[in-house]
Structure 1
Amino acid sequence: HLYRISQITLDTPEVECTQHLTTATLEVKQGGKMTGNIEHSGGNVRRVLMAW
């Protein structure tokens, strides 16, 4: 356990969580993809449409 750490930088090309990942917030900066079943509750999923 790490307590009272304000930031940890993992300078590695890939980090894999093989069991379970819990986070309060998530920010994706360069895209990607999700596979599998995703369940969402509480709050909204906002979709932004880009005009090309």
Structure 2
Amino acid sequence: MLAAVREAGEAWRQDMGFSGTIVVSQLRTIANDLLRATGVPRDEARRLVRRAAAGHP
């Protein structure tokens, strides 16, 4: 999931337009929800998704 967020973050940085921005935002929300569903604490899930979107491993 985090790899998908990384890829979406890269695409977003290439200026995908408004619709693309919405899709990336939704993907980040889904990633956060999935991490939370697997037991990752809220703050950690947010941190992981933010780092992935920024292109960090």
Please classify the TM superposition score into its range, dividing by the shorter chain length: under 0.3
Query: In terms of Rg, which structure is larger?
Result: 1
- TM-score scaled by structure 1? 0.20
More helix per residue: 2
